[in-house]
Structure 1
Amino acid sequence: MAQARTTGKIGRIVTWIFAVLAVLIAILVVIFLTFDWNRLRPWVDDKVSEAIGRRFEITGDLKVGWQRPPNETGWKRWVPWPRFSAEKITIANPDWTREKFFATLDEIDFQVAVLPLLAHDIVIPAINLVNPSIDIERLKDNRNNWTFKFKQSNEPSTWNLRLGDISLAKGTVKVSDEVTKAEMQVVIDTLGQPVPIGDVMKQQEAASAKSSAEMVGKSGAAKLNKQADAAAASEASAASAASAAAAANASAPNPASVSANTSITTKEGPKPPVPPYAFGWTVKGTYNGGKVSGDGKLGGVLAVQDAQRPFPVQADVRLGDTHIAFVGTVTDPAHLAALDLRLWVQAVSMAHLYPFTGVTLPETPPFATEGRLTGQFREDGNVFHYENFTGRVGGSDINGSLVYAGKKPRPLLQGELVSHLLQFKDLAPIIGADSNASKAKRGDTEKQPSAKALPTEEFKTDRWKSIDADVKFTGQRIIKDADLPITDLYTHVIMKDGVLSFEPLKFGVAGGAIASNIHLDGSAAPLKGRVSAQARHLKLKQLFPTVKTMQSALGEVNGDAALSATGNSPAALAATSNGEVKALITQGTVSRLYMEAAGLNVANVVYEKLFGKRDVNINCAAADFVVTDGVLDSRVFALDTDDAVINVDGTINLKTEGMDLGVHPHTKGFRIFSLRSPLYVKGTFKDPKVGVNAGALAVRGGAMVGLGLINPFAALIPLIAPNNNKPLPCQQMLADMSRAPTAPPAGKKQQAKAAPAYMSSGAAAPGAADKGAKKPATPAAPAAASAAQYRGS
C-alpha cells in the first residue's frame, strides 16, 4: 500500500510538472505572438550600432513570427523556426560623405534554425532584401565609407554564423570615387521571367561581333570570328572527348550533350547546372573623365555557403572608347572564389585598358579580342587566366594565353602571344611612330613634328612600376612594304621594378637576323637606356629588294652596335646616345652598273645601259662609327672592289636628324669621260639631299674650259681618270671590325677614337701583305679568324 501511495504521488508530481510546463509554454507563445517587438528596436539599434561602428536604425516595424522550416523532413519539420522581419532600415555614413546613409532597406526578413542554436550555431538559410540602396564614396586621400570599424572582443565568440542564400527585389548602387574620378549609378530590377545562360551567350556573341566590326572593321571582325570559331571548335572537341571518356568510365550519359541553357561543359569536365538569370541591371555615369554606360544580368539567388553552385553574371559595358563584355559564372560569390567567363574586349588602344585593369600594356592600333577568363581570388594574391584568346590588332591577328598573378610587391603578367600574320605598321604605335591621325584616334594629344623622323612621343614610365611582366611574342610572318626586307619577329619582354627589357628583340632581315638586347630603366628620371645589337648574315641582294641593280649582288652584311643614352622618348634617347656602331661586308659581288653610277663614270654607265651589266668583286667594306652625344662620326667608312675604292667621311647627327657626309669615289684602272668628283649627302632623315660636290666639279669644269681654249682635245684631260688609287688593307679592316663595340654608362660620353693609320691620307697604301696585290693570297690568321667570326656566328 505504501508503495502504491508513493507511486501515485510521483505520478501526480510529474503530471503537475508537465502541466506547469504546458502553461509556461502557452504563456510564452501568447507573449511571443502578442508582444510588441517594436519596444526592442532601441536595444537592437544600439547593439548593432556598437558592433559596426556606425549608426544603425530601424524606423519601421520589427516583427517576429513562427513558420515551419523549409526543406526539413521527419520530426524536425514539426519544430517551428522564428521568422524575423524589419522595415525601413538605415545605416549611417561617416560625417565627411555627401550622402547621409551608406545603405537603406525597405525590408529585410529571414528565418533562424532552432536546433543548431543548442550548439551555438546561428543558421540562417536565406535572407531576403527588399529595395536595397547603397552609397559608395571615396575621397582623394583614400578615405572610404565601405570600411567599417567592427568592435573587437577580447575573447573569441562562442557563436558561429552560417548564412545560406541572399535574394533581393530591385536595388540601387551609387558610386562617387575621387581617386578614379567615377560618378556612376547602378539600378537592379527583375527581368519578369528567367533567361537561360545559353540564350544570353548567343545574344552577347552577336552584339560583340557587331562591336568588333565597328572597332577593327568588317574584314577584321570576320577574321576574328573565324579565329574564335576555330579555337572554340578545338576546345569543344577536346572537352567532348574528355567528357565522353569520363562518361564511358562511369557508365553515365555524355555530359557534353547537356544543353548550354542549363550547364557549361569545359575541358575540365561538366559543371553543375547554371541557374537562369533573374535580374537585369543598368549603369550610367562617368569614369576617369569618360562616359560610362552599360547593362547586364544577374542570377536570382546568391548562394553564400554552397561553393559549388554557380552564380550567373553578364555585362556589356562601354567606358569611353573601350568596350568590355562577358558572360559566365561566379563560384562561391560570397568569397569571390572563382570566375569563369567568356570575355570580349575592344578598344582603340590596349594602353586604354590601364585605368580599368591596372595592367601596363603598349599603345596599339584599334583591337578586338575574345577568350576565356578564369580567376581565383586568394589571400596570397588573385590569379586570372585569359586562355586561348583570339584577336585582331589593326590588320594583324593575335593569339595566346596570359596569366595575371597578384604577387607582392607588384603583380606579375606572364604569357606567350603569337601573330600568324603581322602588319609591320601595327608596331608603330608602340614607340609612337604612327601618324598624327592615328595618335588623335587613340586620344594622344602629342603630335609628331613634321620635320622629325624619330618618334618624340614619351614613354609612360609612371606605369612601369605598377606591374612586372614576362611575356614572349612571336610574329611568324610580317606583312610590310615591298622595300622592307623584314620577314619575322620574336621578342621576350621583361619588366621588373620599372625596368623594361627586350631580351632579345629579334627580326628576320634579308635572309639573316638583327638581334638586340634593349634595357630601358624607367625607375629613374630621365630614363636610362642601354642597347646592344648584332646583325648577322644579311644578304646584299635581299637588303634592297626593289633596287634592280642590286638583284645580282652577292655577299653578306654583318655588324654590331653598343649604345647607351638617357631620355624619355626614342628621339631623346637617340639624341643623347654614346657608343659605337660597326658593320662589315664580307667578300661578294655587286652590280658594276651600281658601282660605276656611284663613281659617275659617264662612258661606262652609258655602255652598261646599252650592252648590259657585269658584276665586280667586293674585296671588303666596313663602317665604324663612334657615337658621342647623338653624333655618329665615321672613324672608318670605306668600300673596296676590283674596280673602285669609295671613302666616306662626315657625321650623322641624331639630335638634329641631319647628315653631312662626303662620298669620295676613286676609280681603279684607266677611265675616259669620268666625272669622278666627290658626292655629298646632306639634309635630314626625312628630306635627304644627294648630289655632286659643286666646288670640285667647278674646278674640273674650269680646267676643261681653260684647256679647251688652248686645244679642244686637251679639254678631255680632266675627264680622264688614271689609275692612281691603291686597294684598302682588308686584313686590317677585318681585324679592326672584329673587336666588339663598347658603350659608356648611360649619361656618360664615349671616349674619342682616332681613325686607324690606314685610313689617313698619308697612309693610303696598304701594308706589306697587300702591296702589289688587290687581294692577299693567304690572309693572316687573325684576319681570317675575324672574318669567320662574322660569317659563322
Structure 2
Amino acid sequence: MVQGRKIGKIVAWFFGILALLVAVLVVVFLTFDWNRARPWVDDKVSQAIGRQFHITGDLKLGWQRPVTETGWKRWVPWPRFTAQKITVANPEWAKQPYFATLDEINFQVALLPLLAHDIVIPSINLVNPAVDLERLKDNRNNWTFKFKQSTEPSTWNLRLHDIAFAKGNIAYADEVTKADMQAVVDTLGQAVPIGEVMKQQEEASRKSSAEMVGKSGAQKLDKQATAAAASEASAASAASAAAAASGEKANPASTSAANSITTKEGPKPPVPPYGIGWTLKGTYNKTAVSGEGKVGGVLAVQDAARPFPVQADVRIGDTHIALVGTVTDPAHLAALDLRLWLQGVSMAHLYPITGVTLPETPPYATEGRLVGQFRKEGSVFKYENFTGRVGGSDINGSLVYAGRKPRPLLSGELVSRLLQFSDLAPIIGADSNASKAKRGEEKKQPSSKALPTEEFKTDRWKAIDTDVKFTGRRIIKDPDLPITDLYTHVIMKDGVLSLEPLKFGVAGGSLASNIHLDGSAMPLKGRISTQARHLKLKQLFPNVKTMQSALGEVNGDAALSATGNSPAALAATSNGEVKALITDGTVSRLYMEAAGLNVANVVYEKLWGKRDVKINCAAADFVVTDGVLDSRVFALDTDDAVINVDGTIDLKTEAMDLGIHPHTKGLRIFSLRSPLYVKGTFKDPHVGVSAGALAVRGAAAVGLGLINPFAALIPLIAPSNNKPLPCQQMLADIRTAPNAPPAGQQQKAKAAPSYMPADQGGASAPKAAAPKALSPTPASAAQYKGS
C-alpha cells in the first residue's frame, strides 16, 4: 500500500513538472522576442543558398487552431511563423542589389506530423514579392544558386500544399538576347479551365488575323482552320476507337473541352486550371514587347506527370504570337503541346525572335499545333498541320525544327492550293516600295530599275539548315502571264542556298531551274541552270488573238554564273550562255507580213487572209559576258520570210539595243522593208522602224516620182530573197548544251557562225572556226522532244 502511494506521488510529480515545463515553454514562446533569432536564421539560410539572406523586419511566432482539421485535432494549435522585409542578395556583378525582396512571408506548420519527421505546410503566403533576373554576355546569370549539399540524407520530409501571393513583380535583363522586360504576376480571382481560355484566344486571334490579312483573308483562314480541325477530330475519333478496340478504358474527364485537349493521338490527361495571370512589357532585341497570359498554380509545377497549363498573347514589334496548351514537367521542360497562332508583317521578322531563317513575305496569319520534346542531344519541335494566309494566298503543311549541331535543321512540306503570284515578289525584293516600307526595308527600289536591288540577308543563311518542299498547285496571276503552277525544293546548308529545282508550269510546258547561291563568303557566288521544255507558242501569248492559231513549241537552255548580293547585282555580273529553239510550228501570216513591213499584204491579210505560215526553224543563241547578252544566232525562218536579229541586251544598265532585219521570200508590192529596232530599257522599251533606211527608200521613191510616177513604186517593191537559213545546221548548233564559267570569271568570246548573213554579224565576225554542221543526234533530239 505504501509502495503504491509512492508510485502515485511520483506520477503526480511527473505530470506536474511536465505541465509546468509546457507552461514555461508556452510562456517562453509567447513572450520570447524572436527578433533575437534573426541573425541565426539569416546565417543558416545564407549558408544554404550561397547568397546573403536578411530579415530586416519583425520575426514572429504565433499560435492558431487549424480550421481545416476535425475532431480533437482541431484543438491542437499550430505555430504560425511570420517574417517581414526579406531580401536575397544578388552576385556582385549584377546591376541590382537584390535578387528577391518580400514585404512579408507567413505560414503555418502542422504540429503533430513533426513527431514523424514530416514538415507539413498547408500554405505559404507571399506579400508583394519582387524578383530580378539578369544574364551577362558571358552567360553568367543570377538565378543559378549554389545550394549547400548535405553529406547525409535528411530525415525530414517537406510537404507544401499551396503557395499564395499578392501582386508580384519580375524584372528580366539579358545581354545575350538583348532583352529588358518587366512582368507583373497575380493570382486569378478564380480557377479558369483550359477549354474556356482556348475559346477566348481563338476569338482574339481571329480578330488579330483580320488586322494582318484583312477580313476576307481571315474568313478564308477560318474556313481552312475549320476544315483542318474536322480532319483532326476525325483522326482523334479514329484513335479513340482504336483504343476502345484494344480494350483501353476511356477517361471521361480527358475528353471534356473544359479541362483537356483531344488530339489525333487520342485524349490527353486532365489539365489543371489556370491559377496565375501575368502581364509583360519591355524590349527584346531592341524591339518593343507587350503581352499577357496565364499559367497553372505554383505547385502544379511539381507534378511532372501532369500537364501544366500555359497561355500567352504577346506582340513583339509587328509580330503577334499567341498560344494555349500544356507543358509537361515544366520544372525541366520535358515537352510541350500547344495551339499556336502567328501573325505578322513578314515571316522574315520571326528570325530575331526564333532564330529561324524565313523569307520576306506579305502580311501573314497562321494557326496550328506546336508539339515538342526537349532533349539534351537536341530538342525537336513540330508545327504540324498548320494552315494560314500569306497575302492573298493560302498555305498549309508541317514544319519540323531539330536542334542539332552545328546548326539546327528546319524541314517539312508546304502546299498552297491557290497562290497569288504577286505574293512571291517580296522573296526576291520585287515588291513595291510601299510594300518594302511596310515590312521595314529601308532601301527603296530605284524607279529606273526593273531587276530587284534589295540585298539577300546572307548572314542569316549560316544560322540554320533548311530542307523544305513547296508546291503551288494553282497560280493566280496577270492574264498575260502564262504561268500555271509552281514547285520548289529549298535546301540551305553551310550558308549555301539551293533551289533544286525551281519549276514553273508555263504555257503548257515547264520552266525548271537549278539555282545555287553560295552566301558563305562575300561576295555571294551564284550558279543557275535553266531548262525550258515544250512551251506552246499560242499559250505564251494567251491574249494575242492572232497567235491563237500558232503551233509549235519553244525549248531552251541557259547556264549562268555570277557574283553579287542581289538579283540585280547577279544579273549585272552574269557569264554564260542562253539558247532557245522552235521547230515544226506555224505562225500567223499577218505577223510575218507586219514584221517585213509589207503594207499591201498586211492590208490584204487583215481584210481577207487567215492563212498561217509554217515555221521552218527559229533559234536564239546568246553569249553572256559581264551581264551583256550578245546574240551569236537570233533568227526565224518561215515559208514567207527570214528574220534576223542582232545586237545586245545589257543586264547591268537594263538597256536593249537590238536590230531586226526582215528578208521576204517572194515578190512584195508596197513593202517598206526596212530594219526595225528595239531600244530603251526594260522598264521603258521602244520599238520602231530604222528611220535612216526608211528615209533613203522614201527619198528614192520621191526622186523617181519626179521622172516617172510609176517609177516611184520601184523602191517599194521587195524582191524575192530565196536564201533560207540552214536550219539543220543551226538547230544542231543550238542543241549543244550551254555552259558557264566559274562564278567571277568571264565567258569566253564566241564568233557568230559563218552561215549567218552579214547584217547578223556572220560576215564581219572574227575569223574563227565555224561550228560543224552536225545533224541532231538521237541524244540531242531527246534533250528537247523527250524531256
Q: Same fold (TM over 0.5)?
A: yes
Unaligned segments of structure 1, at least 5 residues: 767-778
1:643 corresponds to which residue? 640
Secondary structure of the 2:616 match is strand
What is the count of residue pairs matched by the alignment?
769
SS in 2 for 1:757: coil
- Name 1:146's counterpart in structure 2: 142
Structure 2: how far apart are the matches of 1:692 and 1:351? 48
Instruction: Give the 3 Å change call, closer, same or farther, for CA 256–749 of structure 1 in structure 2.
Output: farther
AA aligned to 2:685 is P
By how many angstroms is 1:247 displaced? Answer: 3.6
- What is the TM-score with the length of structure 2 in the denominator? 0.89
Q: Which residue of 2 aligns with 1:366?
A: 363
Q: Which moved more, 1:305-314 or 1:683-692?
A: 305-314
Match of 2:400 among 391, 399, 403: 403
Between the aligned partners of 1:242 and 1:86, the Cα distance in structure 2 is 54
Task: Please show how residues 182-193 of structure 1 align to structure 2 within 5 Å.
Answer: 182-193=179-190
597, 607, 610: which is aligned to 2:607? 610
1:752 maps to 2:749: yes
What residue number does 1:355 align with?
352
Question: Does the alignment pair 1:790 with 2:784?
Answer: yes
CA separation of 1:444/1:762 partners in 2, compared to 1, >3 Å: closer, same or farther? closer
Match of 1:771? Answer: none
Tell me the CA shift for residue 275 of structure 1.
Answer: 2.0
Question: For the residues of structure 2 that align with 1:309 and 1:33, how far apart are their CA atoms?
Answer: 41
Whole-angstrom CA distance in 2 between matches of 1:397 and 1:584: 37
Answering whether residue 664 of structure 2 is matched by residue 664 of structure 1, we say no
Query: In 2, Cα distance between the equivalents of 1:674 and 1:376?
Result: 78
Question: CA 1:96/1:201 → structure 2, altered by over 3 Å: closer, same or farther?
Answer: same
Amino acid in structure 2 at the alignment position of 1:173 = I
Match of 2:574 among 573, 577, 587: 577
Taking structure 1 as reference, are residues 163 and 455 closer, same or farther at Cα in structure 2, changes over 3 Å only?
farther
Q: Is the 8 A contact 2:94 2:142 kept in 1?
A: no
Partners of 1:166 and 1:304 within 8 A in 2: no
| 1:666/1:117 CA distance change after superposition, 3 Å | farther
Contact 1:492–1:502 at 8 Å: present in 2 too?
yes
Measure, in 1, the Cα distance between the counterparts of 2:172 and 2:254. Answer: 43
* Structure 1 residues 625 and 128: alpha-carbon distance in aligned structure 2, compared to 1, 3 A threshold: farther
Hey, what does 2:319 align to over in structure 1?
322
Partner SS state of residue 755, structure 2 = helix
Contact 2:122–2:161, Cα closer than 8 Å, also in 1: yes
Please give the alpha-carbon distance, in whole angstroms, between the structure 2 residues aligned to 1:493 and 1:547. 35
Aligned to 2:193: 196
**Residue number in structure 2 paired with 1:598:** 595
The answer for the alignment partner of 2:680 in structure 1 is 683
- Residues 692 and 189 (structure 1), Cα distance of their counterparts in 2 relative to 1, 3 Å cut: same
Give per-residue Cα distances to partners, 1:373-421, cap 9 Å, x unaligned. 1122222222211111111111000001111111111111111110000
Residue of structure 1 aligned with 2:102, choices 101, 105, 117: 105
Listed one character per residue, the Cα deviations across residues 605-627 of structure 1 (whole Å, up to 9, x for unaligned) are 11110003211111111111111
Deviations 1:276-327 (CA, angstroms, capped at 9, x unpaired): 2222221223334443322222222342442222222212222222111111
- Residues 152/559 of structure 1: CA separation in 2 closer, same or farther (3 Å cut): farther
2:740 corresponds to which of 743, 749, 752: 743
Alignment of structure 1 residues 746-785 onto 2, 5 Å = 746-759=743-756, 761=758, 782-783=776-777, 785=779
Q: Which whole-Å deviations, capped at 9, do the CAs of 1:719-771 have from their partners, x for residues lacking one?
A: 212223411111222221222211111111111112222225399999xxxxx
Q: Retained in 2: the 8 A contact 1:315–1:327? A: yes
Partner SS for 2:461: helix
Report if the CA contact (8 A) 1:243-1:256 is conserved. Answer: no
Aligned residue identity for 1:663: I
Alignment partner, residue 300 of structure 2: 303
Displacement of 1:430 in angstroms is 0.6
Change (3 A) 1:37 1:258: same
Partner of 1:379: 376
Partner SS state of residue 431, structure 2:
coil
Alpha-carbon contact 2:646-2:761 (below 8 Å) kept: no
Is contact 1:734–1:786 with CA below 8 Å preserved after alignment? no
Pairing 1:728–2:738 present:
no
- Closer, same or farther: CA 69–637 of 1 in aligned 2, 3 Å: farther
Counterpart CA distance in 2 for 1:458 and 1:198 is 46
Relative to structure 1, the CA distance from residue 51 to residue 455 in structure 2 (aligned partners, 3 Å threshold; closer, same or farther) is farther
Q: Which amino acid aligns with 2:695?
A: A
Equivalent residue letter for 1:357: T
- Structure 1 159/693 Cα, relative in aligned 2: closer, same or farther at 3 Å? farther
Is 1:527 aligned to residue 524 of structure 2? yes
Structure 1 residues 112 and 526: alpha-carbon distance in aligned structure 2, compared to 1, 3 A threshold? farther
Match of residue 507 from structure 1: 504
SS in structure 2 of the partner of residue 586 of structure 1: strand
Q: TM-score w.r.t. structure 1 length?
A: 0.88
Q: Find out whether 1:518 has 2:512 as its counterpart.
A: no
What is the deviation of 1:60? 3.8
Amino acid at match of 2:613: V
**Hey, what's the Cα distance between the residues in 1 that align with 2:460 and 2:116?**
53
Cα distance per residue 1:433-488 (max 9 Å; x no partner): 00111111112221111110000111111111111111111100000010011000
- Do 2:667 and 2:719's aligned partners in 1 also have CA atoms closer than 8 Å? yes
Matched ranges for 1:97-496 at <5 A: 97-108=94-105, 129-138=126-135, 141-142=137-138, 145-146=141-142, 148=144, 150=146, 158=153, 167-169=163-165, 170-247=167-244, 249-250=246-247, 252=249, 255=252, 258-496=255-493
For 2:213 and 2:463, how far apart are their aligned partners in 1? 29
Which blocks of at least 5 consecutive residues in structure 2 are unaligned? 764-772
Amino acid in structure 2 at the alignment position of 1:594:
Y
Which region of structure 1 is more displaced relative to structure 2, 651-660 or 378-387?
Answer: 378-387
Would the aligned equivalents of 2:752 and 2:762 in 1 still touch at CA under 8 Å?
no
- Residue 95 and residue 663 in structure 1: after superposition, are their counterparts in 2 closer, same or farther (change >3 A)? same
- Sequence identity, in percent? 79
Query: Would the alpha carbon gap of residues 426 and 176 (structure 1) be closer, same or farther in structure 2, given more than 3 Å must change?
Result: same
Shift of 1:371: 0.8
What code does the residue aligned with 1:789 have? Q
The root-mean-square deviation of aligned C-alpha atoms, in Å, is 3.8
Instruction: Name the CA distance, whole Å, in 2 between partners of 1:182 and 1:173.
Output: 13
Q: After TM superposition, list the pairs within 5 Å mapping 1:36-55 onto structure 2.
A: 38-50=35-47, 52-55=49-52
Shift of 1:336: 1.4
Amino acid corresponding to residue 349 of structure 2 in structure 1: H
Q: Distance in 1 between matches of 2:604 and 2:158?
A: 98
- AA in 2 matched with 1:609: K
- Looking at structure 2, the residues matched to 20 and 729 of structure 1 have their Cα atoms a distance apart, in angstroms, of 132
User: What's the CA shift for 1:256?
Assistant: 8.6
Q: 1:51 deviation in Å?
A: 5.4
> Deviation digits for residues 670-718 of structure 1, max 9, x if unmatched?
2111112111111000000011111111122222222222222222112
User: Which amino acid counterpart does residue 528 of structure 2 have in structure 1?
Assistant: V
Q: What amino acid does structure 2 have at the position aligned with 1:590? A: V
Cα separation, partners in 2 of 1:270 and 1:663, compared to 1, 3 Å? same
> 1:162, 1:636 → 2: CA distance?
89
CA contact (8 A) 1:244 1:255 kept: no
Quick check: 1:172–1:187 contact (8 Å CA) kept in 2? yes
Contact 1:104 1:132 in 2 (8 A): yes
Q: What CA distance in whole angstroms lies between the structure 1 residues aligned with 2:458 and 2:478?
A: 31
Q: Deviations over 1:144-196 (max 9, x none)?
A: 5435362787x977569988777342321123345544432211122212222
Shift of 1:203: 1.4
Q: Report if aligned partners of 2:627, 2:651 keep a CA contact under 8 Å in 1.
A: yes
3-state SS, counterpart of residue 54 of structure 2: strand
1:164–1:305 contact (8 Å) kept in structure 2: no
